[in-house]
Amino acid sequence: MNVKNLMELVVKTADDKRAENIAVLDMEGISLVADYFVICHGNSEKQVQAIAKELKDVALENDIQLRRMEGFDHARWVLIDLGNVVVHVFHRDERSYYNLEKLWGDANSVDVDAILAAQENL
């Protein structure tokens, strides 16, 4: 699976678990950490954990290496490292505080609505 397909799978999976305000930042050429950051939030600790668990399960089902998952127990900010795609699942209250979209303001945004619309047409 190429990195763009992986990012699209992550977006679809997060959306399926009702993640809020999904954003994708194209980090290529900006960060050495990953090609894409996927950022979303849940409205409760349980929802944050449900989103993170589903992302982990989908990664394992698709033989995608889960390099690291941190913050699951506290469910305030769960970081899921899938190699070239890093997922940040925030609790609603924490997302605005850390404001990664502004922190990485040099990154181009990817059109999440177009990804989800394309997935619906499959």
Degrees, nearest 5: CA angle 54-77-13: 25
Helix (H, G, I), strand (E, B), or coil: what is residue 96?
Answer: helix
Residue 122 has pLDDT above 70, yes or no: no
How far apart are alpha carbons 16 and 118 in whole angstroms?
Answer: 14
- Reported as a single tens digit per residue, the pLDDT across 11-22 is 999 999 999 999
How many CB atoms neighbour CB 9 within 10 A?
20
How far apart are alpha carbons 15 and 97 in whole angstroms?
Answer: 22
Question: In which residue are the tokens 């990154």 written?
Answer: 107
- Reported as a single tens digit per residue, the pLDDT across 76-109 is 999 999 999 999 999 999 999 999 888 888 889 9
- Reported as a single tens digit per residue, the pLDDT across 23-33 is 999 998 888 88
Fold of 3-120: Beta Polymerase; domain 2 (3.30.460)
